[in-house]
């Protein structure tokens, strides 16, 4: 059994799916590992690093795929690379079936098994495979760092002989994994932190990290069975807007993290709210790639409105690719371990296993 990974388009994705540490684990599991030349060199993982572990390195990606049983990636490969895949192979990654429906349907017709890891169920057994949580943790942390870098005032309160510098006030919109890490990071740096979420279950978590939870009436009804936020009603949106209008007037930095799986991100920070913010304030929108949580978010641009900077990136994890790759590769290894039957040396697609059933795109 052979597991491989192809080079990503580095203009879009700097993370990798197999680090040397994880390559060693795959080999210990009984799998062969093959990678293209210079696969991880941009992260400091050289070809000799892999070769010394027993990894096969080749300059022919088509040949690498032809001899593979499992292909692991970050996103869906290019059309050319997808054409290399053959019947009964297993493609594992963040395949985004909502946006790549046609391409994945074509792969299914070729009898390729497609496992999309963002569809993992939120159950205890799947926690070690949860790519959304591991990557969102880093994204929440980095969003705060990036926002603070663009904020031209001090973050913590400072008392000096010349006077007192007040602490920055930060609002986190969405208290999922990214939001909670953003709260923790902002608090560690001395900010006063507020947070809002449609799920009342988040209140205790926010407060345990030292944040103040802004409660919107009706929040308890807005969580899916899988623990995700669901789309809100018009009545809820109105109540949330009224709460935010008053809160935002005193906020220096906003971190937006509100996403609904498979749908356009909800616009939460309206034009009128931004007009009420103080000049010099900063908004970092982690939802930019899905349309953004503000009225003015543009991907990979810094938009300035009334002195307020609004930032959003295609992929903030490209700013932390080594840390993100280490976590992602471990998540994927744990998933592959659940698929691989070590005794019979084959892939066991057991549809009675909730993890397999939910991630396999049929």
CA–CA separation, 253 vs 148, rounded Å? 8
Q: Is the dihedral of CA 272, 275, 281, 284 positive or negative?
A: positive
* pLDDT confidence bin for 243, thresholds 50/70/90: confident
The residue annotated as part of the active site, out of 2, 122, 188, 319, is: 122
One domain, residues 93 and 150: no
One domain, residues 89 and 189: no
The residue annotated as part of the active site, out of 133, 134, 323, 325, is: 133
Angle, to 10 degrees, between the axis of helix 20-29 and the axis of helix 321-339?
A: 10
Return the CATH number at 240: 3.40.50.720
One domain, residues 85 and 206: no
| CB distance 111 to 104 below 8 Å | no
| CB distance 143 to 320 below 8 Å | no
Respond yes or no: is residue 122 known to be catalytic. Answer: yes
CA–CA separation, 75 vs 98, rounded Å? 13
The residue annotated as part of the active site, out of 228, 230, 278, 338, is: 228
Distances 126 to 225, 228, 261 between C-alpha atoms, Å: 16, 15, 18
Q: Report yes or no on 205 lying in a domain.
A: yes
One domain, residues 156 and 258: yes
Q: Which of 91, 118, 88, 120 is nearest to 103 (CA)?
A: 91
The residue annotated as part of the active site, out of 28, 127, 233, 275, is: 127
CA–CA separation, 305 vs 288, rounded Å? 16
Respond yes or no: is residue 199 known to be catalytic. Answer: no
Provide the pairing of β-strand 301-305 with 308-312: antiparallel
One domain, residues 92 and 230: no
One domain, residues 145 and 106: no
Q: How many domains is the chain partitioned into structurally? A: 2
Q: Which of 324, 329, 321 is nearest to 21 (CA)?
A: 329
pTM of the predicted model as reported, rounded to 2 decimal places = 0.90
pLDDT score at 8: 95
Alpha-helical segments (H) within the chain:
20-29, 47-51, 61-66, 79-82, 101-109, 131-150, 177-188, 202-208, 234-248, 271-276, 321-339, 354-359
One domain, residues 332 and 354: yes
pLDDT in tens, 148-170: 999 999 999 999 999 999 999 99
One domain, residues 261 and 332: no
Structural domain harbouring 333: 2-119+321-359
Q: Report yes or no on 124 lying in a domain.
A: no
Q: Report yes or no on 96 lying in a domain.
A: yes
Q: Report yes or no on 59 lying in a domain.
A: yes
One domain, residues 296 and 193: yes
pLDDT in tens, 161-197: 999 999 999 999 999 999 999 999 999 999 999 999 8
Q: Report yes or no on 97 lying in a domain.
A: yes
One domain, residues 271 and 250: yes
Respond yes or no: is residue 130 known to be catalytic. Answer: yes
SS3 content of the chain, % helix, strand, coil (to 5): 40, 20, 45
Q: Report yes or no on 162 lying in a domain.
A: yes
One domain, residues 28 and 148: no
CB atoms within 10 A of CB 38: 13
The residue annotated as part of the active site, out of 130, 197, 252, 285, is: 130
Q: Report yes or no on 130 lying in a domain.
A: no
Q: Report yes or no on 131 lying in a domain.
A: no
One domain, residues 45 and 191: no
Point out the least confidently predicted range of 173-182, 229-238, 288-297, 311-320. Answer: 229-238
């Amino acid at each position: 059994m052979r597991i491989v990974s192809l080079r990503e388009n580095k203009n879009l994705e700097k993370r990798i799916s197999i680090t040397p540490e994880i390559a060693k684990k795959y080999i210990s599991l009984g799998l062969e590992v093959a990678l293209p030349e210079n696969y991880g060199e941009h992260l400091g993982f050289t070809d000799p690093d892999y070769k010394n572990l027993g990894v096969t390195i080749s300059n022919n990606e088509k040949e690498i795929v032809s001899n593979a049983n499992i292909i692991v990636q970050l996103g869906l490969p290019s059309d050319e690379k997808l054409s290399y895949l053959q019947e009964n192979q297993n493609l594992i990654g963040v395949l985004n079936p909502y946006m790549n429906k046609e391409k994945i349907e074509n792969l299914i017709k070729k009898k390729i098994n497609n496992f999309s890891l963002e569809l993992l169920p939120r159950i205890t057994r799947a926690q070690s495979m949860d790519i959304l949580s591991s990557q969102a943790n880093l994204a929440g942390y980095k969003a705060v760092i990036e926002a603070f870098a663009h904020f031209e005032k001090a973050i913590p309160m400072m008392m000096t002989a010349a006077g007192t510098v007040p602490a920055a006030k930060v609002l986190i919109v969405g208290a999922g994994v990214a939001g909670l890490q953003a709260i923790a990071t902002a608090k560690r740096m001395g900010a006063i932190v507020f947070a809002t979420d449609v799920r009342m279950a988040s209140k205790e978590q926010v407060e345990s990290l030292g944040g103040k939870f802004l409660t919107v009436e009706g929040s308890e009804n807005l969580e899916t069975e899988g623990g995700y936020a669901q789309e809100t009603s018009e009545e809820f949106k109105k109540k949330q807007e009224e709460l935010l209008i008053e809160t935002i007037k005193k906020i220096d930095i906003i971190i937006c993290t509100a996403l609904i799986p498979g749908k356009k991100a909800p616009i939460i920070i309206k034009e009128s709210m931004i007009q009420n913010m103080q000049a010099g304030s900063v908004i970092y929108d982690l939802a930019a790639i899905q349309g953004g949580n503000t009225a003015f978010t543009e991907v990979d641009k810094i938009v300035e409105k009334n002195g307020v900077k609004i930032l959003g990136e295609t992929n903030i994890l490209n700013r932390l690719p080594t840390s993100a790759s280490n976590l992602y590769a471990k998540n994927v290894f744990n998933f592959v371990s659940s698929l691989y039957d070590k005794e019979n040396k084959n892939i066991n697609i057991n549809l009675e296993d909730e993890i397999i059933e939910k991630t396999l795109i049929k």
